[in-house]
Structure 1
Amino acid sequence: MTDDTFLNGVADALAALPAVEGVALGGSRAQGTAGADSDWDLAIYYRGAFDPDHLRAIGWEGEVSAIGGWGGGVFNGGAWLTIEGRRVDVHYRDLDVAEAEIARAQRGEFDVEPLMFHLAGIPTYLIVAELALGRTLRGEVPAVDDYPAALRRSAAARWSQMAELTLGYAAANHAPRGMVTQCVGSIAIAACQFAHAVLAAEGTWTTNDKRLLHAAGLQEIDAVIAAAGDDALAEAVARAGALARARLESATARIAGGTDAA
């Protein structure tokens, strides 16, 4: 079975579920960066009440969560499936929530929510990024064009502030006590926070942590963490901060003072 035949069949089945108004392809498959073993990320956009039992009834192998089963918030559940030998993730997307987050993003507003596998949590505008980067397969989903100028400024400022606080706490409390795990964890979290700040400043959408540091040009922090040891914790915290600040300064240069409205 070809990929196109497979995708069309899955999209048809998802689009036929009650309350579903649109189906979109996301992730590396939508962006043209997938490898042979990449999974398939699909989102079902529903209006009103969606019942996961309808998805379970299709009979695909795997785990189907309840609404809110992934912790609630904007990422409110989904399924990890195997269909025709292919790994498929299906994400629940409430259209009312998506439309509200698009409006908030236009105003430069967002929250940060915890989500498994995302070290620094996720910004609620991540579902807006999905719409910007994804490909609609069936029905209709909200259209997202450019990265909002207000969000570029607010997200860059907020993420960088969180990163500075994270590193500052590690430098003042963890490093002097030789707390290796806490220091390394703080550097990792702050690196992700700085990466979100850089990408926001540049107006670049991102949807997950897998290549977050690379996308933001902060992969050098890998070497900082690899070299960290009990005798070099304070230096590692300082080096990671210096690398990230230099990259962020370059990214924010064009929007300093609100001069870049792109």
Structure 2
Amino acid sequence: MAGRLTELPGIRAVVLGGSRARGTHRPDSDWDLGLYYRGTPDTAALAALAGSFQGSPVEVAGPGGWGPWVNGGAWLRVDGVQVDWILRDLDRVEEVWSGCRQGRYEVGIQPGHPLGFWSPAYPGEVALGRVLADPHGELTALQRQTAHYPEPLRQALAEAAWEAKFSVASARKSAPAGDRLHVSLCLSRAFGILAQSLHAHHRTWCLNEKGALAAAAALPDTPADFEERTGEALRGLDPAAVETAAGVVRDVRAVLRTTAG
């Protein structure tokens, strides 16, 4: 499939991503293929190829069809197996990577990413993926670069933990009134930021919210009972939960003030 895809106009490389690439998949896990393109991909050609693999018509969303960051793609069912094609604009990925090396990043609104799409996910996907087809060697070269986590990005994301404290302070004002929506959003954002900061502190890519708290809890020097305490706060959503969250933020920020190993 990867080889056939790179024969289409604009498709420069195909990368296996997600749990399948990292070896953490379950038997029923999807197969996620990143389709890296330049210019404007030929969605009609993609749809025709997808249909030939699935044996029935497949709708392909072009750039922007799934939002500004996930971009577009298609969902296929091939021989009873779920295969997801996810479009990635290689020029944009390279631009984001250039910014990351200088300590710049964005957090954009994106369906499917309730805590926002953190732009370092782009180079992180390249770093953690398995290149399946790369006839021009572009993704392979980029993957070699992303193997080294940029120190300016590490510092910038670690310093972002200040917002976690701010979010908890906002939740503290709403919790006594029983405003569970606002409290839950504030605490979720606080913990999501801490997960990003902890991963960056250890020069480890964090791609999205899925499994982020458990992964952060497994990192060296993460405060004891981190996952349990964050879970307790998200279950409570009351003034006591806010104070639990405040303690977690305080302890994580203390870790982030130390030098990464």
Measured against the shorter chain, the TM-score band is 0.7 to 0.9
State whether residues 120 and 207 of structure 2, in contact with CA within 8 Å, keep that contact through their aligned partners in structure 1: no
Aligned equivalent of 2:250: 245
The 3 A distance-change label for structure 1 pair 163 and 52 is farther
The 3 A distance-change label for structure 1 pair 72 and 199 is same
State whether residues 117 and 209 of structure 1, in contact with CA within 8 Å, keep that contact through their aligned partners in structure 2: no
Segments of 5+ residues of structure 2 without an aligned counterpart are 218-225
The 3 A distance-change label for structure 1 pair 237 and 36 is same
In structure 1, what residue type is equivalent to 2:176? Answer: P
**30-39 vs 135-144, greater mean Cα deviation:** 135-144
In the TM superposition, 1:168-183 aligns within 5 A as 168-172=169-173, 174-183=174-183
In the TM superposition, 1:201-216 aligns within 5 A as 201-216=201-216
Aligned equivalent of 1:70: 66
C-alpha separation between the residues in 1 aligned to 2:199 and 2:191?
A: 12
The 3 A distance-change label for structure 1 pair 171 and 40 is same
In structure 2, what residue type is equivalent to 1:44? Answer: L
Output one character per residue of 1:26-68: Cα deviation in whole Å (capped at 9) or x when no partner: 1111111111011111111111111222211121355421210
TM-score, normalised to structure 2's length?
A: 0.86
Output one character per residue of 1:86-125: Cα deviation in whole Å (capped at 9) or x when no partner: 1112111111111111111110111111122322112111
TM-score, normalised to structure 1's length?
A: 0.86
State whether residues 108 and 154 of structure 1, in contact with CA within 8 Å, keep that contact through their aligned partners in structure 2: yes
State whether residues 119 and 188 of structure 1, in contact with CA within 8 Å, keep that contact through their aligned partners in structure 2: no
**Which SS does the other structure have where 2:258 is aligned?**
helix
C-alpha separation between the residues in 2 aligned to 1:63 and 1:241?
A: 46
State whether residues 8 and 42 of structure 2, in contact with CA within 8 Å, keep that contact through their aligned partners in structure 1: no
**Which SS does the other structure have where 1:48 is aligned?**
coil
**Which SS does the other structure have where 1:43 is aligned?**
strand
Q: Give the one of 15, 30, 37 matched to 2:6.
A: 15
**Which SS does the other structure have where 1:41 is aligned?**
strand
Aligned equivalent of 2:156: 154
In structure 2, what residue type is equivalent to 1:119? Answer: P
In the TM superposition, 1:128-147 aligns within 5 A as 128-139=123-134, 140=137, 141=139, 142-143=142-143, 144-147=146-149
Aligned equivalent of 2:19: 28
Q: Give the one of 45, 54, 60 matched to 1:54.
A: 45
Instruction: Count the aligned residue pairs.
Output: 240
In structure 1, what residue type is equivalent to 2:40? Answer: A
**Which SS does the other structure have where 2:12 is aligned?**
strand
In structure 1, what residue type is equivalent to 2:123? Answer: V
Deviation at 1:198, TM superposition (A): 1.2
**Which SS does the other structure have where 1:57 is aligned?**
helix
Aligned equivalent of 2:223: none
What RMSD over aligned residues (CA atoms) do the two structures have, in Å?
1.7
C-alpha separation between the residues in 1 aligned to 2:68 and 2:184?
A: 28
Deviation at 1:225, TM superposition (A): 1.9
**Which SS does the other structure have where 1:22 is aligned?**
strand
Residue 119 (structure 1) aligned with residue 114 (structure 2): yes
Output one character per residue of 1:175-209: Cα deviation in whole Å (capped at 9) or x when no partner: 13111222123212221111111111111112122
C-alpha separation between the residues in 2 aligned to 1:122 and 1:29?
A: 21
State whether residues 162 and 190 of structure 1, in contact with CA within 8 Å, keep that contact through their aligned partners in structure 2: yes
